[in-house]
Amino acid sequence: MKLTARINIFFLCGACLLMVFTACKKEEVIHLDRAVAVRAVVATETEQPDELAVFGSLAWEKKFEIKSPQDAQVQAMFFREGDLVRTNQVVARLYNPQVTIAVERAGNGLERARAALLVAEARLREGILAAESRLLTLEKSQLELQQAERELAETERKHLDQEQLFAAGGVTEEVIRGSRFALESARERIVLMRKDMEIRAIGTRPIDLVNAGMAVPTNPAALRQSILNLNTATLRAERDASIAGVSTAQGELDSARLVDQELVILAPAGGTVGARHVEVGERVKRDDQLFTVIDMAILHAVVPVNEAEAVRLTPGMSALISIEALDREVEGRIELIAPIADSRTASFSVRIRLMGRVTDLRPGMFVKCLIRLGPARTVLVVPESALFSRSGENASLFVVAAGKAQARSVATGVNMGTDAATTTAGGDREMLVIVLSGLRPGEVVILNPPTGLREGDSVNVQ
């Protein structure tokens, strides 16, 4: 009984296994005979612009710092960040009490120097008058000497008559003695007058001019002027020193005023205030920053370019700059390529000048730049949905060959835009991918390969 039960169970299990095996074989046959419905496109060639897309930001070309010219206290600040300033416009006022005192002291010094000059000029005028008076006195003394000499000649004549009368007994001895004394007195007077004239003539003689290094004019008027100049040389020197003193004092006052004018801070050029570094009441030192002013009229885009692409760039290449915040585009031109790469990013900084004027631009705005490297090139492309496996540049796809699916390994490049002929499940245009190798133009590529599609499966292209 037990043996019969065991035999029945054995046959029952065998029958079950046979039924399962038969069902699997039928399903495999059905699978092999059924064609999988797929969507497909023909791999085509297209023109790819030789462009480099990079991202960066706008930067200013010119900016300048307005600094404090000296130690001072901030008295007034007339602008804030974002304000526009014009060239030579007053942007701030500083205060330094020492400078104010220096200006007052220099002004007082100038007044003293001017007063000293007035005194020196007055003394010179008096000296000229005194010298002219001395010359006139000498002329008068010369006339007096001539008169005395004539009187001496008359006295000598009279005395000779008296001597003759005395010899004839016509006059007494007392009379002749008086006559003789008068004659000697006249002679002594002439000697004294001549000596006095010699003394008074010192400083007016031609030899005095020569000793002073001055020429001796032959013209009487010029000679007289030279003598006057000689006798007032000291006073003239004092006058000239006073003039120099006034000039020096004026220079000191001008210098003090210039230092005082430095406290009125002017913008050296026009622009927009980018930063205000101090506030009213703060103390600043020499060369401390007051404002940072940016020239917004000239901006450029600064973008990093990897070293592999940077070697293809040259100054003067054109670029299309997109300012996304303003939804605007403007033409640009490469102006500068940094000679040294950034070791951290292995990229070169490239500066692109904006050729057109765009309002409302601000430094720091995000930009996208398309740099035109050369003429367009022909490339093979497929929709991105054809790739069922992609890692870096390596990818896999299926092509249709003799009605069957054939797997291919391909090398891919960058995405280059959308295709109007293919769309995603959401209705969006698909991105095209450049195929560098592993595929030929004209081959049929399966889109969105179904899960489970295998090499050699029959396919039905819809």
Task: Mean pLDDT check: name the lowest of 64-68, 152-156, 268-272.
Answer: 268-272
| Predicted confidence band of residue 263 (pLDDT cuts 50, 70, 90) | very high
Global confidence as pTM: 0.53
Q: Is the pLDDT of residue 200 over 60?
A: yes
Average pLDDT of the chain is: 86
pLDDT tens digits, one per residue of 209-228: 999 999 999 999 999 999 99
For residues 139 and 133, give the distance between their C-alpha atoms in angstroms, rounded to a whole number: 10
What are the boundaries of each domain within the chain?
36-48+378-461, 100-256, 295-375
pLDDT tens digits, one per residue of 327-357: 888 899 999 999 998 888 889 999 999 887 7
For residues 294 and 85, give the distance between their C-alpha atoms in angstroms, rounded to a whole number: 10
Give me the percent of the chain exceeding a pLDDT of 90: 63
- CATH code of the region 100-256: 1.10.287
Q: Is the pLDDT of residue 376 over 90?
A: no
Q: What is the pLDDT of residue 10?
A: 41
Question: Can you tell me the mean pLDDT for 294-313?
Answer: 86
Q: Kindly report the length of the chain.
A: 462
Question: Can you tell me the mean pLDDT for 390-397?
Answer: 89
pLDDT tens digits, one per residue of 35-77: 888 999 999 888 877 788 899 998 877 888 999 999 999 999 9
- Would 36-48+378-461 and 100-256 be classified into the same CATH topology? no
Residue range 295-375 forms a domain whose CATH class is mainly beta
| Predicted confidence band of residue 134 (pLDDT cuts 50, 70, 90) | very high
Residue 85 and residue 273 in contact, taking contact as beta carbons nearer than 8 Å: yes
Domain 36-48+378-461 part of CATH 1.10.579.10: no
pLDDT tens digits, one per residue of 3-42: 344 434 444 444 444 443 444 444 443 344 478 889 999 9
